[in-house]
Amino acid sequence: MELRDKVAIVTGATSGIGRAVAINLHQAGMKLVLTGRRTNRLNELSETLGQAAYLVGDIVEPDVPKQLIRTAQSHFNRCDVIINNAGMIEVGEVPDIDIEKVCAMVRLNTEAAFRVIFTSCKYFLDNGGGHIINTSSVLGSRVRQPFGAYAGTKAAIEALSEALRLELAGTGVAISCIQPGLVMSEIYDDWPVHPSKARGIDPPLQPEDIARCIRFILEQPAHVRVPRLMVLPESQVT
């Protein structure tokens, strides 16, 4: 697909993979609608990217996915791509894990992501096509202890994406999952030991690595589908 002047919505755009994707797609000539909870970061990124529109909000709020589509329509009269990226991670063994934080993760990683997916599918079906890229994880298909709850949220995204790929074949609506391995990101800032050190993964992936892969998926010809793409650091074996 020729990306210039196409319109993409990027959720979780204030840091990490979302921010890197927004910058990369801007460089490809795309017009952007960004969302996240941190106003100052959205404002800074919007200014950096020139004409990017943004919506400050929590993606777990039920109406936010529709608001994002309306924002794209009002600013650019269309939407072609959804980067469904917002997420969090909560891990731990049974005696120690914080159940409330786990449930908050499920609301963000699964419930909110499902809302984005179904809202986008309905819009794209009504408007002749589009592409949804869901940020999954290598743990969406490879479970390991103590990441079970997080892996479950990503496995749910993988299952829905595959089911919808089958349902929507031939409609012009494409659905892909990107499955990153360990990425250097703020998501681990409050961990006592960064997992790259704990697991000896040196170097981990950078957000820009994932952004390049997402752009690769989007730039394929219209008849090509990439249902999933796993991206690992060279030293990550599981």
User: Cα separation of 232 and 235, whole Å?
Assistant: 8
Cis amide bond preceding 195, omega within 30: no
User: Cα separation of 29 and 47, whole Å?
Assistant: 16
Cβ atoms within 10 Å, residue 174: 25
**Residue 229: phi, psi to the nearest 5?**
-140, 115
User: Cα separation of 72 and 127, whole Å?
Assistant: 13
What is the identity of the amino acid at 206?
A: Q
User: Cα separation of 156 and 30, whole Å?
Assistant: 29
Q: Which of 40, 139, 38, 25 is nearest to 82 (CA)?
A: 25
For 195, residues 6+ apart whose C-beta sits below 8 A from its C-beta are 182, 188, 201, 204
pLDDT at position 164: 98
User: Cα separation of 114 and 198, whole Å?
Assistant: 32
User: Cα separation of 77 and 72, whole Å?
Assistant: 6
Each residue's pLDDT, cut to its tens digit, for the chain (238 residues) gives 799 999 999 999 999 999 999 999 999 999 999 999 999 999 999 999 988 999 999 999 999 999 999 999 999 999 999 999 999 999 999 999 999 999 999 999 999 999 999 999 999 999 999 999 999 999 999 898 899 999 999 999 999 999 999 999 999 999 999 999 999 988 888 888 888 998 999 999 999 999 999 999 999 999 999 999 999 999 998 7
The answer to whether the Cα torsion of 159, 135, 152, 61 is positive or negative is negative
- Going along the chain from its start, the domains and CATH numbers come out as 7-231 (3.40.50.720)
Burial class from Cβ neighbours inside 10 Å (0-12, 13-18, 19+) for residue 197 reads exposed
What the block records as the tokens of 226 is 């990439």
Tokens 């990683």 correspond to: 109
What the block records as the tokens of 166 is 């089958």
Q: Which of 149, 152, 176 is nearest to 162 (CA)?
A: 176
Task: Give 49's DSSP letter.
Answer: T
- CA-atom Rg of the chain in angstroms: 17
